[in-house]
């Protein structure tokens, strides 16, 4: 990963136009080619970014990042404070907690608990940004990517969106749709999922384990 801290301005040219005025920011260039611009705040989400695949051209004081669709991210460097590169090696990926991992296993055995007629293709279907929890087919032959969480929030929906973007580059998969699955899903995550064209489904962990929730109550 390459990390550059610089005073810069950033322009996006594509489906619309957007501009970040001059300020000090962190520019991240990941090994897969993804470029992200961060401010000193706002948690993890970048101010602007360009997902891989793309082409990065470095001119004397300007970077031009262009994807296959012709969208461009133009970064004008006014003053560079640090520019360093670091080798991360292979990442083992996110380790799910016991409940979440078991929930995924149970749904792999009974995908029709998510949606009637689903059949499993594979658990942990690999992509170059991480594995999709469950890949299935629906009765009409459409590929369905499923992200499973214990508690569903907007981060999980965004994760599913990134997976589907990568899967869409594989023409052999045909049409792909997404389903976001969790024991409980926050209202904001439901709205975001629907806006991205995904279904969302809440599942009962105890029912999946073959027990009714009532059996676990004291009274």
Give, in order, the Cα–Cα distances in Å from 209 to each of 56, 89, 99, 150, 203: 49, 38, 11, 14, 11
Report H helices in the chain. Answer: 98-109, 154-167, 187-195, 205-208
The neighbour count for residue 70, using CB atoms within 10 Å, is 8
**Where do you find CATH 3.40.1350.10 in the chain?**
98-208
Q: What pLDDT score was predicted for residue 217?
A: 39
Give the whole-angstrom CA distance, residue 78 versus residue 4: 12
Give the whole-angstrom CA distance, residue 24 versus residue 197: 36
In this structure, what token pair is assigned to residue 124? 């942990």
Q: How is domain 2-85 classified at the architecture level of CATH?
A: Distorted Sandwich (2.70)
Q: What pLDDT score was predicted for residue 87?
A: 87
The pairing of strands 199-202 and 176-185 is parallel
**Where do you find CATH 2.70.180.20 in the chain?**
2-85
| CATH for 98-208, options being 3.40.1350.10, 3.40.50.1370, 1.10.1040.10, 3.30.870.10 | 3.40.1350.10
Contact yes or no for 150/97 (Cβ under 8 A): yes
pTM: 0.56
pLDDT in tens, the chain (219 residues): 999 999 999 999 987 788 999 999 999 999 888 999 999 886 678 899 898 889 999 999 999 999 998 999 999 999 999 999 998 877 666 555 557 888 899 999 999 999 999 999 999 999 888 899 999 999 999 999 999 998 999 999 999 999 999 999 888 899 999 999 999 999 999 999 999 999 999 998 888 877 444 443 333
């Amino acid at each position: 990963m390459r990390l550059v801290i610089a005073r810069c301005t950033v322009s996006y040219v594509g489906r619309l136009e957007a501009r970040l005025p001059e300020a000090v920011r962190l520019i991240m260039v990941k090994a897969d080619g993804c470029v992200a611009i961060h401010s000193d705040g706002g948690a993890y989400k970048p101010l602007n970014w360009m997902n891989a695949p793309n082409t990065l051209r470095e001119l004397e004081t300007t970077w031009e990042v262009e994807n296959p669709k012709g969208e461009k991210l133009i970064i004008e460097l006014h003053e560079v404070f640090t520019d360093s590169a670091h080798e991360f090696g292979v990442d083992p990926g996110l380790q799910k907690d016991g409940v979440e991992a078991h929930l995924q296993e149970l749904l792999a055995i009974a995908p029709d608990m998510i949606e009637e007629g689903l059949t499993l293709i594979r658990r942990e279907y690999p992509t170059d940004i991480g594995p999709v929890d469950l890949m299935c087919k629906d009765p009409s032959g459409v590929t369905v990517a499923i992200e499973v969480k214990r508690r569903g929030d907007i981060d999980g929906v965004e994760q599913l969106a990134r997976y589907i973007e990568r899967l869409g580059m594989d023409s052999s998969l045909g049409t792909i749709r997404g389903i976001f699955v969790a024991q409980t899903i926050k209202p904001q995550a439901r709205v975001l999922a629907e806006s991205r064209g995904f279904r969302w489904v809440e599942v009962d962990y105890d029912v999946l384990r073959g027990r009714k929730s009532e059996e676990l109550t004291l009274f």
